[in-house]
Amino acid sequence: MTNLATALVETAEEHGDRPALRLDDTVLTYGEFLDAARGVAGLLRSRGLEPGARVGMVFPNVPAFPVVFYGALLAGCVVVPMNPLLKGREIEFYLDDAGISVVFAWDGAADGAREAARDRDLDVIAVGAAGPEEAQLEGAEPLTEPVDRADDETAVILYTSGTTGAPKGAELTHANLSSNAAVSARTLTEITADDVVMGCLPLFHVFGLTCGLNSAVLTGACLTLLPRFDGTKALSMIGRDRVTVFEGVPTMYSGLLHVGGREQYDVSSLRCCISGGSAMPVEVLREFEETFGCTVLEGYGLSETSPVASFNHPDAERKAGSVGTPVAGMELRLVDDDGNDVTGDDAGEIAIRGEGLMKGYWGRPDATAESIPDGWFRTGDVGRRDDDGYYFIVDRKKEMIIRGGYNVYPREIEEALYEHSAVAEVAVVGIAHRDLGEEVGAAVALRPGAEVGVDELREFAKERVAAYKYPRHVWLLDELPKGPTGKILRREVEPPEDVR
């Protein structure tokens, strides 16, 4: 029997006085972290939540996130993290689909959760950056021991999506997350209790959750938190907190390079930098390493794989532009459309299986069977493999847009724009962007006789989806490109010259 939260209990016993979480001047030791998490677990138990109940979380990177996350796990509950930028209409889906019993939200970003919960029989518990206050825990007996959970029982539901249909919740088990955190900490970043890990990756995203929070807890390292990424602030934190391990998406590395007077900041403590979320432009990689004198290692994974599946291992040759070789406990192969192995220099769809592979999609057995038809998860990413076994991402079969490391699903944005009475057709596409990787663009065809400006359409979408999702570029067309069946062909949508 395993509970992911056991790692926190064991680390607190060994390193109780060491700093665990830092947010500027606020520091929680591992002992204080565990005590706070036990309080949350007791609060959930006092409210009648049984093991397996779903607990929603709406937090940026503040200490309350780890406290509530591990508190819910201690109680045997299933955690459903949500982006604090989501609007109420977006959160409603999570609440209903996951059957969430209670939502914890940072008091600075609780309005969306309150709006979503208004017509539902559940409470929103708004807490400060450090977690619940004593008054909120009054009458709740702290839970001292983690509730036993089987290896294959769900610990976290992380929502992801395809280009069509509703988001799907990837069920990650206690064994999935424990295994991937151990691999990340011990073989990729080689974290120990003496390390300080930069916590600028969103913890509600699987990269930050596993490689940042869970890896730090497993080893007793300190996680220093940055709620909203800013290159200048990040560089100052590296020097102030003596950060040794920096984890980020490519746009964060670009952000550090764009800081004025960057050479004045002390980054001598850095010993390891890792990148994931999207492909790192080779030029950004080269410039970062020359400027800051620290090697960047790239990896690859998805929400469905907990996430790390392959990596440029620190003890092996690194190949720029490659996502490395499979990590311990994970296997990769390339397949064609029929599931047959692709060999040689040919490209194929990347398929993955192993210890990090999700249990399945919450409540969607058909989608699970489609994505894992034979025990191998079909990623939708096209790659190739060289003679040394290194993998390179070539393209995506899926039409997902990756903007600054965040996944943006065209269908979701299109649905929001279709709510405008003047819109007849819309296609959302990614537009190459030097710093963000991709920007979101929308081609719109209006209903006959309708008149509306692109600024109005942009604002209309902005009011309905999270800030990182709405299309910065909107342009009007008489008609969108279609196939013989009348299906809109996103791949044939070309943005105007002035936005390319």
pLDDT tens string 228-248: 999 999 999 999 999 999 999
pLDDT in tens, 353-363: 999 999 999 99
Res. 164: pLDDT tops 70: no
How far is residue 35 from each of residues 25, 32, 54, measured CA to CA in Å?
A: 20, 5, 22
| Average confidence (pLDDT) over 16-34 | 98
Determine the 3-state secondary structure of 232 from DSSP.
helix
Number of C-beta neighbours around residue 369 at 10 A: 12
Going by pLDDT thresholds of 50, 70 and 90, the confidence category of residue 167 is confident
CB 161 within 8 A of CB 168: yes
CATH class of residue range 401-492: alpha beta
Going by pLDDT thresholds of 50, 70 and 90, the confidence category of residue 163 is very low
Please give the residue that has the higher pLDDT: either 345 or 6.
Answer: 6
| Average confidence (pLDDT) over 12-20 | 98
CA distance 193 to 465: 40
Going by pLDDT thresholds of 50, 70 and 90, the confidence category of residue 452 is very high
pTM above 0.85, yes or no: yes
Strands (E) in 185-306, as ranges, are 196-199, 222-225, 245-248, 272-275, 296-301
CB 74 within 8 A of CB 143: yes
Please give the residue that has the higher pLDDT: either 484 or 462.
Answer: 462
| Average confidence (pLDDT) over 394-399 | 74
Cβ-proximal residues to 140 (8 Å cutoff; 6+ apart), any chain = 39, 42, 43, 45, 46
Res. 162: pLDDT tops 60: no
| Average confidence (pLDDT) over 377-387 | 93
Q: Are strands 245-248 and 222-225 parallel, antiparallel or unpaired?
A: unpaired
